[in-house]
Amino acid sequence: MSKFLLSAHVLAAVLAVGPITVAASLFPRLARGPATGVAAFLHRTCRTYAAVGVAVPVLGLATGASMGVLGDAWLLVSIALTAVAAGLLALGILPAQRRTLAGRDGLAGRLAAFTGAFNLLWAVVVVLMVVRPGSTTGA
């Protein structure tokens, strides 16, 4: 059961978080100028995959419960960082994209900073998931 849940968790992470990082990174470059139609599509991509991405922590928690590692420090830190990243997306990136599409200027710097932090957080979480510092289960 753990192996099935873990596979589903990793698949959801690759399929949902991957597209969000790419679409969010491309957005600032296309938000101004003639390509706003593409930018609107990228914004919708971020929003849609954010909804799909809810499966990542849900399946992660199920995997952790089935492995009995929910209290491990590396997992608690991962959960906290995932929550920060989700908050950044829902309360920072998506609203700033929406306002940019609505014609508001001056958000490019903030969007770039939010998106950079968001991508960095996923990189840290993935390293934590693989390295599991302090874990005595698995390799």
Interface residue with ligand HEM among 51, 60, 106, 112 (CB under 6 A) is 60
Tell me the two tokens of residue 32. 């101004």
**Smaller CB distance to ligand HEM: residue 91 or 120?**
120
**Smaller CB distance to ligand HEM: residue 26 or 126?**
126
Tell me the two tokens of residue 109. 């710097």
Helix (H, G, I), strand (E, B) or coil at 39: helix
Told to check if 63 binds ligand HEM by CB under 6 A, we report: yes
Told to check if 8 binds ligand HEM by CB under 6 A, we report: no
Q: Which of residues 79-118 bind ligand HEM (CB under 6 A)?
A: 79, 82
Tell me the two tokens of residue 24. 């969010």
Task: DSSP for 45-86, please give it.
Answer: HHHHHHHHHTHHHHHHHHHHHHHT-TT-HHHHHHHHHHHHHH
What single-letter amino acid sits at 120?
Answer: L
Told to check if 67 binds ligand HEM by CB under 6 A, we report: yes
- Sign of the dihedral through C-alpha 17, 7, 70, 75: negative
Told to check if 75 binds ligand HEM by CB under 6 A, we report: yes
Please tell me the distance from the alpha carbon of residue 58 to that of residue 86, in angstroms, as a whole number. Answer: 13
**Smaller CB distance to ligand HEM: residue 37 or 138?**
138
| Shortest CB 45 distance to ligand HEM, Å | 17
Residues near ligand HEM (CB under 6 A) are 6, 9-10, 13, 17, 56-57, 60-61, 63-64, 67, 69, 75, 78-79, 82, 122, 125-126, 129-130, 132, 137-138
